[in-house]
Amino acid sequence: MEKGPREKLVYVTCVYNGTGINKPDYLATVDLDPSSPTYSQVIHRLPVTHIGDELHHSGWNSCSSCHGDPSAKRRFLILPSLLSGRVYVVDTATDPRAPSLHKVVESEDIAENTGLGFPHTSHCLASGDIMISCLGDKEGNAAGNGFLLLDSEFNVKGRWEKPGHSPLFGYDFWYQPRHKTMISSSWGAPAAFRTGFDLQHVQDGLYGRHLHVYDWPGGELKQTLDLGDTGLLPLEVRFLHDPSKDTGYVGCALTSNMVRFFKTADGSWSHEVAISVKPLKVRNWILPEMPGLITDFVISLDDRYLYFVNWLHGDIRQYNIEDPAKPFLAGQVWVGGLLQKGSDVVYVTDDGQEQQYNVPQVKGHRLRGGPQMIQLSLDGKRIYVTNSLFSRWDEQFFGDDLVKKGSHMLQIDVDTEKGGLAVNPNFFVDFGTEPDGPALAHEMRYPGGDCTSDIWI
C-alpha cells in the first residue's frame, strides 16, 4: 500500500451479450494515467472468440499467495464466461497496453471432466493451480456446482472439493491459509438468475442464503452457516487482508446487509449483521419497497476502510472498520441509481414527502444505471466504479437507459484521513460510444494486482 506504484492501466470486462449487438464480448484496456494524452479513454480492445459468453469476473494466474516462488509471474488474466462456460486466458505481460489471447478452455472440456458449468470467481493458488467457482452444472442446476481446478498450463485438472462436499449454491470464495479455511457464498441457480430476477424464485429456494466453510487446502466442507432472512443472496466474500485475522465480510444483496463472519473460541465460525441498509418506501416501482442491493465491496489494503455499493439506490459508502464488529459510516456519494432526480421513481420519507437524490453530471454526462463493480487503488485514495451487474438484470432493472446507451466508468476521490468520497469531475469513460456499439462494463483489474485479486499468506 505504501510502496506500490500508482495504477496506470486497468483491464475491464465488457459485454455485448444481451444488448442486441451480435458481437463477442471483449477485454478493454483503459488509461488511468492523468499525465497521458489518452487519460480516461479505452486504448485497446481484445474481443474473445465466441458470441454470447457474458464475460464477468476475472483473476490472475499468480498473485501474492505465490510469494516465495521465484517462478511465479503475474502474466495471465483468467476470464471465465458466466453463461457459455468457457474460460479465456489472456497474456497481459507481452504488451500490457494491448493484451492478447493465449488460450481458450472450452466448456465441453470442463463439463466432460468435472460436470461443472457457469464459472465465476477465479483465484490463483500457491501450488500454481487456478481455482474457479462454478455456479451449477452445464444445465444450470445449482446442485451441480463446485470448484474447478486448472493446472499452471490451464489444462482441466478436476474438482477441488472432495466428493460429496459441494456447496448448496455457488458464487464467490476467499481462502485464509493461516486459518486453514476457505469460505464461499451463494448467489443462486443459474437456471433461475439467467432469465432475470423473480422474487418467487427466492421463495422457491432457488437462491442462496448460506456461507460454506471449507478446510483449506483439503476441500472438506466443515460447516454451513445459514444467514437466514437477513442474509439473502450473499455475493462477494472478503477476508481482511491481514492473513493472521480470522474475520471477514459478505455482502448480502437482496436484504442489503453487510454480514461479518468470524472464528469463535471453539474453532467454529459464526456470523452477525455488521451494517444494514434500510429498504426505502417508493412509488412508481415494481415493489412498494426498494432494497439498496449491495452487489460489490472492497476492503482497503490496511484493513481500515470498507467500501460498498447500493446498485439500485445509487450510492457508494465508506465505512471505518478499524473495529471490525462496529463499522461506522465515514463517507457517501450518489452516482446513479433509480432514485436520482429526473427518474420516474421516488422514495417516500417517514413524513410522507416524495424525495429523489441529487446525482452530478460528469463531463456533461447524466449518470446511467447504478454503481456496481468497484476497485480501489493500492494507496486507498481512488475508487473506480462501473455500472453493469449482469446483462439480463441490467435490462430488467434499468432498461434501455443502460443496455442500449451502454456503461460508463467513474473515479471517486477518497479522503483516507477524515473519511469522505467525491466524484472526480475529470474522469469519465463512456462505453456507450464504443466502435461496435454501446457495451456493458463490469469487473476491473490492474496489471499489478489489487485489493480483490490478491490473497496474502
pLDDT at 67: 66
User: Average pLDDT, stretch 439-445?
Assistant: 98
pLDDT at 402: 97
What is the CA angle 443-179-119, rounded to 5?
A: 30
Residue 5 pLDDT exceeds 90: no
Q: What is the mean pLDDT of the chain?
A: 96
483489474: which residue's cell? Answer: 445
State the sign of the Cα–Cα–Cα–Cα dihedral 103, 106, 109, 110.
positive
User: Average pLDDT, stretch 183-201?
Assistant: 96
Buried b (16+ CB within 10 A) or exposed e, 303-312: bebbbbbbbb
User: What are the tens digits of pLDDT across the range 311-326?
Assistant: 999 999 999 999 999 9
User: Average pLDDT, stretch 362-387?
Assistant: 97
pTM: 0.97
User: What are the tens digits of pLDDT across the range 266-312?
Assistant: 999 999 999 999 999 999 999 999 999 999 999 999 999 999 999 99
Report the CATH fold assignment for 9-445. Methylamine Dehydrogenase; Chain H (2.130.10)
pLDDT at 72: 72
Q: CA–CA separation, 360 vs 85, rounded Å? A: 38
User: Average pLDDT, stretch 365-377?
Assistant: 97
User: What are the tens digits of pLDDT across the range 68-108?
Assistant: 677 778 899 999 999 999 999 999 999 999 999 999 999 99
457517501: which residue's cell? Answer: 332
Residue 376 pLDDT exceeds 90: yes
Task: Sketch the domain layout of the chain as residue ranges.
Answer: 9-445
Percentage of the chain beyond pLDDT 90 is: 94
Three-state DSSP state, 393: helix
Confidence of residue 66 (pLDDT cuts 50, 70, 90): low
Total Cβ atoms within 10 A of residue 381 = 14
153's torsion region: left (phi>0), alpha (psi -120 to 50) or beta?
Answer: alpha
Burial class of residue 230 (count of CB atoms within 10 Å of its CB; 0-12, 13-18, 19+)? middle
User: CA-CA distances (angstroms) from residue 13 to 55, 353, 428?
Assistant: 6, 40, 17
